[in-house]
Structure 1
Amino acid sequence: MVKRINIPMMLLSLIFVSACGVSKKTYLALETQYKDLGTLYQKGQVDLAESRARVKSLEDQLEQERKNNQNLREALAKLQGTLDNSISQNSQGNANISKLVDEINASNKYIQHLVNTKAKSDSLNVVLTNNLTRSLSREELKDVDVKVLKGVVYISLSDNMLYKSGSYEISEKAGETLSKIAKIIQDYKDYDVLIEGNTDSDPISKPNIRNNWDLSTLRASSVVQALQNTYAVDPKRLTAGGRGEYNPITNNSSPDGKARNRRTQIIITPKLDQFMELIDQAPESDTTEANAVGL
């Protein structure tokens, strides 16, 4: 908890004490204490602002996931409405209706399973993001952006922290940050990891690099190999890809915009085979019999 310090009152007290004829030693001690308290106050203000920013980011993520869950619930309600209308509007073809009811019930269970699976995935994503953010220092957070978009965790790393200037070789400065990210990846073994390189629009002028496609792909490959060789991440979980200058997050008209576009993203997603298993579980529909009962 940051205590508020009344700087004007402290200054007034110092002036009063000085006027009363205190010794120079006492005055200097009080002056030093005043400066220390001022520094502590400023640091407390910075820490408070950072904490509020993190809370706001997590609240935004939570609100987005609530909206996504609401959409799934609405789809479930719509499907249930179709079942109710089918039963009320059809008085014949009991056998067909019975089968249709079974299919709709199966669809309801499937949708509910999707809702539960997504809720579990969302919870894991929030925990993963929180764990990673807490492990990074204040200085590292200046070069690392962590967010969750549509159920996928994106870790964006600035190129000035990650690579040597104009190169695809990873700098010594990036080692500690990558080790923390690698630990998170190791803790969540049911997730695949895509490393995606991005550049600005300035053409590269290196004899061994043809263009920005090459540069972005080589940088992604460097991160993949560091995760595998230095931090023992299973290479079967890793994919390296480059998008060159064609996936900007802002325009390249200013140095700041170019710096933001020069980034490498570590994208953490549930494994593809888990999605395929969910698709295989989807109930088959019989459109012929559905037409037979007037739907």
Structure 2
Amino acid sequence: MKKRISLVALSLVLASSCVSPKIYKELEAKYANLKQENRKLANENDDLLYSKNAAETQLKQLQASYKEAVAQRDKLQGDYDAAKANVDALKASYDALEKNSSAAITANSQKNRELLAELEAKEQALAAENLRLDKLKQELADRSNRVAELEQVIADKDAAMTALKDAISRALTDFEGKGLTVEQRNGKVYVSMENKLLFSSGSWAVGNEGRRAVQQLGTVLATNPDIAVLIEGHTDNVPYQPNGAITSNWDLSTKRATAIVAILRENAAINPENLTAAGRGEFAPIATNDTPEGKAKNRRIEVILTPKLDELSRLLNDN
């Protein structure tokens, strides 16, 4: 991502020498937005990972404390049972001695009182340990419930993204075999459209067939307002010949990405705040540039759909 921002910055510098001040300011604003969005996403990702690891560590500590408390409780229970058995034996001895000697009875009474006091202390310690054990059980249950909630939210997000992928695949079924693929990876949905479906060579004007595909994709996105949409333009490694309006593959890939955004913006039901356009030039290939087929695959638009994690963030931030 840092490399991408550096390259965008470089494109801004190069563009500043070839384009009007207005276009330069627009590119500069886009760069600032990209940089801010990158910083925000990186911070959110670090916070989420840190909170999840902290919760898992706390859960492991509680489980260890719980096991230790159970062991201590069992030991106290054993001591208690042994002391009680001793008291019962002394009581029996007391009854027998009472018949023979008042002196022996007095001695045994003292010992019996000592044992009864010891037994009472054991009972109090056992009661305190049971209270501590109950508290640990409750804390463990609370942590387990919180982890279960987090896992459920993640599972729901994955299920929602699977449903979104299926909906997009159904909506774009007419374009199968025309350079369009739909995949789900790492909790995101990737819609890849090769340039042969969208653009003429060296152009950023979307053709009729490509426009129809983007519009059908927009119909699905309009019903999923909680999805962030990143549109990335990609080229092969053949240097672009400047023609006045475009100076490099960076420029071309960016204009192609914004052309897709413009079509999606025609759908009033899509929140423009969910849309981000980015130009990657030739620096994120998915195939070799040594063959015509590989170059064709690299000339593409990728629409990356990411679920918003507001609910997950709330759970991680709850005490």
Q: TM-score range by the shorter chain?
A: 0.5 to 0.7
Structure 1 unaligned segments of length 5 or more: list them.
1-74, 284-295
- CA separation of 1:139/1:269 partners in 2, compared to 1, >3 Å: closer, same or farther? closer
Residue 229 of structure 1: how far off its partner (Å):
2.7
RMSD: 3.0
- CA separation of 1:183/1:97 partners in 2, compared to 1, >3 Å: closer, same or farther? same
SS class of match (1:225): helix
**Alpha-carbon distance between aligned partners in 2 of 1:218 and 1:145, rounded to the nearest angstrom:** 22
**Alpha-carbon distance between aligned partners in 1 of 2:201 and 2:212, rounded to the nearest angstrom:** 18
- Of the candidates 248, 253, 275, which is equivalent to residue 290 of structure 2? 253
Matched, 1:143 2:122: no
Which residue matches 1:226? 263
**Alpha-carbon distance between aligned partners in 1 of 2:292 and 2:309, rounded to the nearest angstrom:** 38
| Equivalent runs, 1:30-49 vs 2, <5 Å | none
- CA separation of 1:106/1:203 partners in 2, compared to 1, >3 Å: closer, same or farther? farther
Which residue matches 1:185? 221
Further displaced range: 119-128 or 214-223: 119-128
- Of the candidates 156, 174, 181, which is equivalent to residue 120 of structure 1? 156
Runs (4+) off by over 6 Å? 75-79, 92-100
Contact 1:79 1:108 in 2 (8 A): no
Contact 1:79 1:104 in 2 (8 A): no
Residue 164 of structure 1: how far off its partner (Å):
2.5
Which residue matches 2:246? 209
TM-score (normalised: structure 1):
0.62
Which residue matches 1:176? 212
Which residue matches 1:156? 192
Residue 206 of structure 1: how far off its partner (Å):
2.6
Which residue matches 2:78? none
Which structure: greater helix fraction? Answer: 2
**Alpha-carbon distance between aligned partners in 1 of 2:299 and 2:311, rounded to the nearest angstrom:** 32
Residue 88 of structure 1: how far off its partner (Å):
2.8
**Alpha-carbon distance between aligned partners in 2 of 1:278 and 1:163, rounded to the nearest angstrom:** 44
- CA separation of 1:167/1:230 partners in 2, compared to 1, >3 Å: closer, same or farther? farther
Which residue matches 1:134? 170
SS class of match (1:157): strand
Which residue matches 2:145? 109
Code of the aligned partner of 2:262? Q
Structure 2 unaligned segments of length 5 or more: list them.
1-53, 73-124
**Alpha-carbon distance between aligned partners in 2 of 1:222 and 1:274, rounded to the nearest angstrom:** 32
Identity percentage over the alignment?
A: 33
> For 1:218-257, what per-residue CA distance to the aligned partner results, in whole angstroms no more than 9, with x for missing partners?
1111111110035652211111111111111122111111
Code of the aligned partner of 2:203? S
SS class of match (2:246): coil
Code of the aligned partner of 1:271? K
Code of the aligned partner of 2:236? D
Residue 143 of structure 1: how far off its partner (Å):
1.8
